[in-house]
Amino acid sequence: VESNGSIVEAKIIKETGDVQIIKYIKGRLLGKGINSKCYEFTSLENKKIFTAKIIPKSDLVEQKAKQGLINEIKIHKALHHPQIVAFENSFEDDENVYILLEICINKTLMELLKRRKHLTEIEVQHYAYQIIQALIYLHSHRVIHRDLKLENILLTHNMELKVGGFSLATIKDFEGLKNYTACGGDDNYTAPEMLE
């Protein structure tokens, strides 16, 4: 369902076993990932606006891709912090899997830098502090993000920073475990020790 203004129905099964149907209006395209697109979704029930990450099921044929999406949802759903994009819900229909997230209306830190060319020293301090707070939280929950880059750092309506993009995230099984898996395809974001 690509057209704007179309209705998407979420069938939510409650703990009681009852099925609740929530309808959303699919709005404008907000961004694209490798295997997903993000759209603005508005709830017809309460007019609340979300970001909906839409993953076509045709891209989830391999077991590794399915398990990766299950892992992303499981990890993101468990995270609750002011500097982490809030997870709202996930559901699917015959064609797609949908992940509903808090909307960050001012897009990404990458887009801000492209528009403004530079940030003030105070802004850099403010954003660096928020990134560090997010990382402290993630690491305290043994979550390794593995895809932290400007495109996955989003900005709210009041320019507060939120870390998103958990498709490559993983959980360390025990303290002291090192992860040597190379993730992503852009060497510009790869740590020197991984390049070696």
Task: Report how far residue 133's alpha carbon sits from residue 154's, in angstroms, rounded to the nearest whole number.
Answer: 15
Taking a C-beta distance cutoff of 8 angstroms, is the pair 97, 57 a contact? yes
Reply yes or no on whether 173 is catalytic: no
Distance from CA of residue 182 to its chain's centroid? 20
Angle at 111 between CA 105 and CA 112, to 5 degrees: 80
Active site residue: 147, 173, 186, 187, which one?
147
Task: Report how far residue 125's alpha carbon sits from residue 71's, in angstroms, rounded to the nearest whole number.
Answer: 32
Angle at 59 between CA 55 and CA 65, to 5 degrees: 90
Q: What are phi and psi of 121, to 5 degrees?
A: -60, -40
Of the candidates 51, 50, 72, 68, the one whose C-alpha atom is nearest the C-alpha of residue 59 is 68
Count Cβ atoms below 10 Å from residue 93 Cβ, excluding itself: 13
Task: Report how far residue 9's alpha carbon sits from residue 31's, in angstroms, rounded to the nearest whole number.
Answer: 21
Task: Report how far residue 148's alpha carbon sits from residue 20's, in angstroms, rounded to the nearest whole number.
Answer: 35
Active-site residue set: 147
